[in-house]
A and B are shown apart, each in its own frame.
Chain A
Amino acid sequence: MKFSHNWLQSFFSEKLPQPEKLTEVLTLHSFEIEDFEKNGADYVLDIDILPNRAHDCFCHKGIAREIATIFDKKFIDREVGLINETKNESDLKIKIDNSKLCPRYMGRRVENIIVKNSPDWLKQKLEVLGERSINNVVDITNYIMLDLGQPMHAFDADKVKGDIHVRQAKKDEKIILLTGEEAVLDESVLLIADEAGPLAIAGIKGGKRAEVTEATKNIILESANFNPSMVRKTSQKLSIKNNSSKRYENEISPEMTEPAMNVATKLILENASGEKTKNHGVVDIYPQKTGSYDILLSLIQLNNLLGVNFSEKEVENILKRTGWVWKNESGKFTVAAPAERLDLRIKEDLIEEIGRIYGYENIKPTLPENILKKPEINKNFVTAKKIRLALVNLGFSEVYNYAFRSKGEIEIANPIATDKAFLRNNLTDGLREAMEMNMRNAPLLGLDEIKIFEIGTVFGKSGLPTGQVGEQINVAWGTKNKKEIKIEECGLEKAAEKIVTKESDISDLPQTKDIKFKPFSSYPFILRDIAVWTTKGAEEKEVLEIILKNAGELLVHKKLFDKFEKDGRVSYAFNMVFQSEEKTLTDSEINKIMEKITTALNAKGGWQVR
C-alpha cells in the first residue's frame, strides 16, 4: 500500500528519517517497505502491511504511530473533538435491520454546502498517491480513509427519499453504481437504501442515484462499520475490490467511525461551506458498544517465550514508546489494547509486540539442552533413499514430474489448465513423456539412451469405499533408446526388492556441494558427422585437436562413433553437435565451419576426409 512521506511527517513536529532509513528500520521491526519513489517534493513509500495489522495500518495515522514507536519519536494525534452543531436536532432517521452486519452507523446532514473543486493541498495529497480528485466533498471522504483508515461516503440528501434503511438486498434487486454499471444483487448483499430502493452497496460502492455532484446542495455524510466477512463475500461475488472493501474486509473497530465523522465535518465546514451552511447533529446507531481488552503479561512469561532476560525497567521502556495505557505491578504488566488494535488480544500478541520493537536481531540465538529421547527411524524415507542410490548407480537420473494430468481418478475443482484437471494415478505416463522429450536432445546430451526414474505420490480411489480417496508413493524407472522404451512402476517396498542389491549400497550418492547451475541454450542444435582417413599410428586425440581448433565455440558436443583400419589406414568418425547461445543456427553457417575443419584435416599429410 502506498504512503506519502510528507503526509506521515504531519503527525510529527520532529523531522522524520529519510525514506532509506525508514525502509531499513521499519523492515526489521514492522513491515517490509518494498520500494520508495520520489514524487515532486515528496516520497511515496510502498509498504507491505502484514495481514494482522490491516485493522490499524491501512492508513497514514497507523503507519505514523508505528514509526513513532519504533523510532521513539513524539506522535501528534490530530484528533478533532466533537464538532459544534449549528442545528442541534436532526430529522435524519436511520434504521439497521441486523446489527451483526452493521455494528455502527453514523449519519450527519449538512445543509447548503458548495460542491466545487478541491483546494490544492487536498488535490495534491490524493494525487501523490495516485487517487483521482473528484470534488471537495468526495475528496474529503477519501482523504479521511487514507488518513484514518475509516471509509466514508456522502449522499446527495435531496435525492434520498425518506429514512435511511440498512438492510439486506432482495433477490434480483438492482442498483446502478457510481461507475454507471448495473449490479444484480441477492440476499447476501447489504444495502444502504431508502424508500425508493438501493442507495449504495454497504462498504463497497455508492449508487448513481444519490451521487454528490456540482449541483448538490445538501449532503448526508456516512461513517459506518460493516461486517468483514459479509463485505468480503460481496466483494468477491460482485468482483469489486477497492480501497473501501479492502479495509472493511480486514475488519475495522466500530470505534473508528466517530473520529472520522468529526474530522470530515470539520473539513467540510472549512472547505465546502457558504453563508447559510448548517451542520446537523450526528445520528449514531451503535447498539452494542465494543468492549475494551486488557492483556495481562508477566515478566516471567515474556522472558520464557522469547528466551531473553529483560528487566522490568527494560519492558517499561519499550511500553513507554507505544503510547498505550499500561501499568506494571512488580513484573505483572496490564496493557489496554487501543481500540484500533484488533490484533492485540492474548499475551502472545503482546510478547510479539515487545519482541519486534526490541528487535528480533537483538535476541541472542541459543540451543536448548538435548532431549534424551532418540528419534524414531522413518521407514519410507530410508527405503526411498536406498532406491535412489541404487538407481543413480545404475545410470538412472531422477526427475520430478507434475502431479497434474489430463486423465486420472481424482478431479480438481479449479484446475490451472483444462489439460491438467486430474491428479496422476501413475508415474509411468509422465515418465514416458519426459523420455520422449529428452530423446530429442540425446545427441546434445551425448546419450544413446535415456534412463530416468521418479519417486512420487500417485492418487486414486479405485478399490476404496465410495467417497474415499487415497494416495501412495510409487517408484517408476525406465530406459528409452531408438528402438524401444521400457518402464516399470510399483510401490516403494516392491521397488526396493527389485532394485536394491548389496552392491548398490557401496557408494554414496553424488556430492553436489559446490555445483553452480549454468543456463543452457534454448536454441535448436544442428548435427553433423565427419569421417577421416588417417595414416597408421595417428591417434584419436590428434584428430580431435584439429577439429576443436577449427570448429570454434559453436561445437558443444562431439563423440567418436566409429573407428576401423583398412589397407594400412585408420578411419575415425565423429558425431558433432553445434548450438548457439544466442540464435538459431543456419545450415550455411555450419557448412562454413565444416569446410574449415575439412580443409584443416586434409592439409595433414596422408589424411583424407571421406
Chain B
Amino acid sequence: MLPKNKKQAGAATLGKKIEKGHLHPLTSIHKEIIEIFASLDFEIAEGPEMETEYYNFDALNIPGDHPARDMWDTFWIKEPKNFVLRTHTSPVQVRYMEKHKPPFRIIAPGRCYRYEATDASHETTFNQVEGLMIGKNITLANLKGFLTLFMKKLYGEDVKFRWQPSFFPFVEPGLELLMSCTICKGKGCPVCKETGWIEIIPCGMVHPQVLKNVNLDPQEWQGFAFGMGLDRIAMMKYKIDDIRLFYSSDLRFLKQF
C-alpha cells in the first residue's frame, strides 16, 4: 500500500521522521468556519460551480439587463449558452429551498468566479461560504446574533466589526458586516481601500420574491441569508496582503500554514 511505502521511504532519508504536509490556508479557514456553524446545527449543502443563468441570477431576483447585474461580472460558458461560472454561492440557497421544507439552516461552501482584472485584492477565483436560515420567525436580530457569535469564535472576543446598510437584490433589508482591517490595524491600506474597514459578510433578510420563486409563502416563512468570502476572511486572519497568493500553489507561501 502506498502510505506505508511512503513512510518508510521518508524515514530512510538522513534518519529524519516524515514531515507532515500543509493544509491550504483557505481549507483551514473553511474547516474552522464549518465547525463553528456545524456546532450551531447548520447543515452543509452543495451546488455546481457551473450554473445556469436562472439559478445564478433570475431566481435570486436579479433580472437580465438590470444595472444590478453589473455587480457580478460574469464568465459565460460558450456552449450551452445559458451557463455561467457561478459568481456567488447564493444559487445553492435556491437549489436547497426547492428540495427541502423549512425550517432549516444551511451553510454552503464553494468556489466562485468573477470576470475581473486581478490585483492584490481582486481575483477571478475566490471561495465563499453561503448561509441560509428559514423558519416561521427568524429575524434580523437573529442574523446579527449568529454572525456576532461567529465573528467572536473566529477572530476572538475583542474583534472589532460593524453593520452598514447595503443592497443585494435577493435580500431586503440588505446589510454588510465590516471588520476593522487587521493588515493596517484600521489605519488604511490597499487591501481595505484606505478606509480601515473591510467588507466581509454581505447579508440580509431573504427577499420575499426569492421565497416565491421556490414556492415558499412569504406570509408563512422568513429568514436570513449571508455570504462570506473565505479569501478575505483568511487574509484578515493570517494578515495576508495579496489575494493571489492563495492560487499561486507556491510552497514558500503554503508551508507557512
Contact = CB atoms under 8 A, between A and B. Distances in A.
A347 B72 CA distance: 27
Contacts of A395: 6, 10, 18-21
A304 B139 contact: yes
Interface in B172-217: 172-175, 193-195, 205, 207-208
A62 to B, nearest CB: 15
A564 to B, nearest CB: 13
Given A304-B139, A501-B1, A512-B257, A52 B167 contact: yes
Interface string A341-372: 00000101101100110001101111110110
Nearest to A32: B164
22 contacts: A304-B137, A307-B139, A307-B141, A346-B172, A366-B145, A368-B142, A373-B103, A375-B44, A378-B43, A381-B44, A388-B23, A397-B255, A400-B24, A400-B247, A412-B76, A452-B21, A467-B80, A469-B50, A471-B49, A510-B257, A512-B238, A517-B239
A448 B3 contact: no
Contacts of A398: 21-24, 27, 254
A412 B75 CA distance: 7
A126 B208 CA distance: 42
Interface string A424-438: 000000100110011
B140 A307 contact: yes
Contacts of B65: 229, 232-233
Contacts of B13: 448
A130 to B, nearest CB: 20
Given A50-B165, A380-B46, A457-B111, A366 B139 contact: yes
Interface of A: 27-32, 34-35, 50-54, 228-229, 232-233, 249-250, 304-308, 346, 348-349, 351-352, 355-356, 360-361, 363-368, 370-371, 373-376, 378, 380-381, 385, 388, 390-404, 410-416, 423, 430, 433-434, 437-438, 441, 444-445, 447-448, 450-453, 456-457, 459, 467-469, 471, 498-499, 501, 503-504, 509-510, 512, 515-520, 560
B82 to A, nearest CB: 11
Interface residues of B, number: 101
A314 to B, nearest CB: 16
A388 to B, nearest CB: 6
Contacts of A306: 139-141
A394 B50 contact: no
B230 to A, nearest CB: 11
Contact of A28 (B41, B164, B239): B164
Contacts of B193: 34
Given A50-B165, A375-B42, A365 B247 contact: no
Contact of A390 (B3, B115, B175): B3
Interface in B239-257: 239-241, 246-247, 249-257
A35 B222 CA distance: 37
Contacts of B147: 365
B50 A410 contact: yes
B125 A403 contact: yes
Given A392-B22, A560-B14, 17 more contacts: A32-B195, A34-B195, A361-B163, A371-B105, A378-B44, A378-B45, A378-B46, A385-B31, A393-B21, A397-B22, A410-B50, A411-B77, A412-B76, A413-B77, A416-B115, A445-B255, A515-B238
